[in-house]
């Protein structure tokens, strides 16, 4: 693709850009099959040629490919193996876009109340949901669906995951401990648009991103931090697209930068790090997480049989094999370590639901435990 990539798109033109880039990919594909060979979803009930044809604008999508596209969790495992640098994940995302009028209910439900400017029944349900959450999570109510207008050096952006109470409460405690001037931008009305983007809802994704940019600009932060890998990707894209100067860090990266403010003590034994699809093993975010685990415990590497890990969230339960895959993964983990630490909030929320005997934690929990431990010692516990 000439001049632009999808990551460098100007807001509001993803649909156009994807149409162009996917058409170019179809011409460039040498049909070597490597992408589908590594894909965890399918072992090939269709040919690459059929898949490429289905990706064409205006071309019918056969049922077997439609099913594959909805099962695709946008993990990106197909990308590094392509000898001609084609993004097969984008091509499948484009099929999702083509099929947006025929999406399963689990896809629609996931986005139902996410995003700004929702009207009609969606708007009513969104307002009811927010009102209920403000009552049930009263201690976080002042951060829910507000637009911070005051300027701050650090912007903590939990977006939709403001409702993931444990991680948000821990992050607020850690930021207070560090003593940095920060503000919070959280709520479904400040969604980053990544959930829409991964479903091929390009116009909604662009709209979310554009409005999020406006909200971030009002804070004028030096650093934006988030614990979700999808939010991180979206904010990093805002920075690139709008030539913003702020830095984007994962929460763990930011905590690592301030590691001198935390006790230097081993508080745990073996911990295995879950490398997510978007915070992959060779990323700076993963490096910060590895450093954290090594500081507070014993870092164990992921079982080789699994390769890079995936929480199987982004097909929204379409693939009936998701649970079996997660259980098999956690069984591998259990052989290596009693605890799995997630570096992405999406993975944490998904994997902690399963009762397999593996303790699933968020990496940043190790920082709060180090504070608890030190305070306990000071009190003579």
Q: Please tell me whether residue 86 binds ligand SF4 under the rule CB under 6 A.
A: yes
Number of shown-chain residues binding ligand SF4 (CB under 6 A): 26
SS (H, E, C) the chain: CCCCCCCCCCCCCHHHHHHHHHHHHHHHCCCCCHHHHHCCCCCCCCCHHHHHHHHCCCCCCCHHHHHHHHHCCCCCCCCCCCCCCCCHHHHHHHHHHHCHHHCCHHHHHHHCCCCCCCCHHHHHHHHHHHHHHHHHCHHHHHHECCCCCCCCCEEEEEEHHHHCHHHHHHHHHHHHHHCCCEEEEECHHHCCCHHHHHCCCHHHHHHHHHHHHHHHHHHCCCEEEECCHHHHHHHHHHHHHCCCCCEEEEHHHHHHHCHHHCCCCCCCCEEEEECCCCCCCCCHHHHHHHHHHHHHCEEECCCHHHCCCCCCCCCCCCCCCHHHHHHHHHHHHHHHCCEEEECCHHHHHHHCCCCCCCEEEECCHHHHHHHHHHHHHHCCC
Stretch that binds ligand SF4, among 67-75, 131-139, 173-181, 290-298 (CB under 6 A): 67-75
Which of 76/263 has CB closer to ligand SF4? 76
| Residue 74 interacts with ligand SF4 (CB under 6 A): yes or no | yes
- The token duo for 46 is 């269709």
Give yes or no for residue 328 binding ligand SF4 (CB under 6 A): no
> CB of residue 262 vs ligand SF4: minimum separation in angstroms?
36
Q: Which is nearer to ligand SF4, 133 or 326 (CB)?
A: 326
Among 18, 26, 29, 341, binds ligand SF4 (CB under 6 A): 29
Q: Which of residues 33-62 bind ligand SF4 (CB under 6 A)?
A: 33-35, 39-41, 48
Q: Interface with ligand SF4 includes 88 (CB under 6 A)?
A: yes
Residue 345 binds to ligand SF4 (criterion: CB under 6 A): no
Minimum distance from residue 65 beta carbon to ligand SF4 (Å)? 11
The site string for ligand SF4 over 274-313 (x = CB under 6 A, - otherwise) reads ----------------------------------------
Spell out, one character per residue from 116 to 135, where the chain touches ligand SF4: x when CB under 6 A holds, - when not. --------------------
Nearer to ligand SF4, 311 or 366 (CB): 311
Contact with ligand SF4 (CB under 6 A): which of 75, 168, 184, 302? 75
The smaller minimum CB distance to ligand SF4, of residues 317 and 338, is found at 317
Closest distance of CB 60 from ligand SF4, Å: 20
For binding to ligand SF4 (CB under 6 A), which residues are involved? 29-35, 39-41, 48, 72-78, 81-84, 86, 88-89, 92
């Amino acid at each position: 693709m000439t001049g632009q990539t999808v990551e460098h798109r100007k807001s509001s033109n993803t649909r156009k850009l994807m149409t162009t880039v996917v058409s170019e990919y179809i011409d460039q594909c040498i049909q070597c099959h490597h992408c589908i060979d590594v894909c965890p979803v399918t072992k090939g009930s269709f040919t690459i040629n059929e898949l490429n044809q289905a990706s064409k604008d205006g071309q019918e999508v056969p049922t077997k490919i439609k099913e594959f596209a909805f099962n695709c969790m946008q993990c990106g495992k197909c990308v590094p193996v392509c000898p001609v640098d084609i993004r097969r994940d984008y091509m499948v995302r484009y099929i999702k876009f083509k099929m947006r009028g025929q999406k399963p209910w689990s896809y629609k439900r996931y986005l139902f109340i996410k995003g700004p400017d929702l009207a009609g029944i969606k708007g009513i349900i969104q307002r009811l949901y927010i009102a209920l959450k403000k009552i049930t999570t009263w201690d976080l109510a002042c951060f829910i669906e507000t637009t911070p207008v005051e300027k701050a050096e650090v912007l903590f952006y939990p977006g939709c995951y403001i409702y993931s109470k444990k991680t948000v409460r821990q992050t607020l405690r850690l930021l207070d401990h560090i003593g940095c001037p920060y503000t919070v931008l959280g709520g479904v009305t400040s969604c980053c648009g990544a959930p829409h983007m991964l479903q091929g809802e390009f116009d909604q994704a662009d709209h979310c991103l554009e409005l999020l940019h406006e909200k971030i600009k009002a804070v004028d932060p030096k650093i934006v931090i988030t614990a979700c890998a999808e939010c991180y990707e979206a904010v990093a894209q805002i920075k690139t697209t709008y030539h913003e100067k702020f830095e984007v860090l994962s929460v763990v990266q930011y905590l690592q930068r301030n590691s001198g403010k935390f006790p230097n003590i081993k508080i745990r034994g073996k911990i295995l790090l879950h490398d997510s699809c978007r915070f992959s093993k060779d990323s700076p975010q993963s490096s910060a997480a590895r450093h954290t685990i090594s500081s507070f415990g014993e870092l164990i590497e992921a079982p080789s049989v699994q390769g890079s890990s995936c929480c199987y969230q982004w097909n929204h339960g379409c693939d009936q094999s998701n649970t079996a895959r997660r259980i098999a993964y956690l069984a591998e983990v259990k052989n290596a370590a009693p605890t799995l630490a997630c570096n992405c909030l999406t993975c944490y929320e998904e994997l902690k639901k399963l009762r397999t005997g593996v303790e699933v934690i968020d990496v940043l929990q190790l920082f709060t435990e180090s504070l608890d431990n030190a305070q306990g010692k000071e009190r003579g516990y």
